[in-house]
Amino acid sequence: MRRIMIAGNWKMNLIDDIEPLTGIEPIDNMDILICPPFTHIDKYSKSTEGTAVKVGAQNAYYEDSGAYTGEISYKFLRDFGVEYVILGHSERRHVFGETDEMVNMKVKKGLSEGFSLIVCIGEKESDRENNKHKMVVENQLKTALMGIENNFENIIIAYEPVWAIGTGKTATPLDAEDMHKFIREKIAEVAGREISANMQILYGGSVKKHNVKDLLRQDNIDGALIGGASLKYDHFISIIRNAEQINI
């Protein structure tokens, strides 16, 4: 049975009441992650201690310390018990100008510091319209993973088509599956078949309680990275419960 991950990316938002999340019992073969803003990691790490819910970060920089105003290092995150970090989210790329090369430096540093990394890739709508979506995704993937050699165990990929993020437009399960299968084949080219088979590939982009099951039923979709629907406890828990029902 494969292991799935349901991860909430809160972005620059807070949730008033996450108390009920702390009551979630561990679920077989499922990891549950929330990624609040940096300022609230400590609080939620403490309140979720001993529960099924883990707390991650939305970004990290590739230097340990220094004159990098506004950035945060892996070493600082470790002090707050963070194990997971999201890297290369499309908002980091498109709003803050992060390049594939910067994502790669963050990946290498995060691995050397022992973190599990959720590396986001995904094409823009124009790439898909011009039938370049696979080429774009392959380039992002291969650059992000460049030079990491045998250190793939702590990598999770999140395929998030930019046009589906926060728009209510989800990729169809079959389109998402087609891309996930492609990504797995490309990982096999750089990391080997066995690693590729075990690597988690999450889907992100307008995942909601009503579509999560159809997405997770696909062979190569191993979980979801959720923005908007992770901000309401009842939506997020419904996604978790629906995911639990899929016999994967």
Query: Out of 98, 160, 177, 180, which one is annotated catalytic?
Result: 160
Contacts of 149 (CB under 8 A, 6+ apart): none
Residues 212-231 close enough to bind ligand PGA by CB under 6 A? 225-229
Query: Out of 89, 91, 98, 133, which one is annotated catalytic?
Result: 89
Q: Which amino acid belongs to residue 161?
A: P
Q: Does 204 bind ligand PGA (CB under 6 A)?
A: yes
- Strand partners for 157: 119, 201
Cα gap 162→169, rounded to integer Å: 10
Cα gap 233→212, rounded to integer Å: 16
CB of residue 232 vs ligand PGA: minimum separation in angstroms? 11
Count of CB atoms within 10 A of residue 149's CB? Answer: 11
Cα gap 199→181, rounded to integer Å: 12
Q: Judged by CB under 6 A, which of 123, 127, 160, 177 binds ligand PGA?
A: 160
CB of residue 189 vs ligand PGA: minimum separation in angstroms? 26
If the CB atoms of residues 9 and 45 are measured against ligand PGA, the closer one turns out to be 9
Binding characters for ligand PGA, 1-40, by CB under 6 A (x = yes): --------x-------------------------------
CB of residue 200 vs ligand PGA: minimum separation in angstroms? 15
Q: Does 202 bind ligand PGA (CB under 6 A)?
A: no
CB of residue 21 vs ligand PGA: minimum separation in angstroms? 17
Compute the Cα dihedral for 135, 141, 145, 149 and give only its sign. Answer: negative
Cα gap 229→236, rounded to integer Å: 6
Q: Does 88 bind ligand PGA (CB under 6 A)?
A: no
Please indicate whether residue 89 is annotated as part of the active site: yes
Contacts of 80 (CB under 8 A, 6+ apart): 41, 42, 45, 55
- The residues assigned a catalytic role are 89, 160
Q: Which residues bind ligand PGA (CB under 6 A)?
A: 9, 160, 165-166, 204-207, 225-229
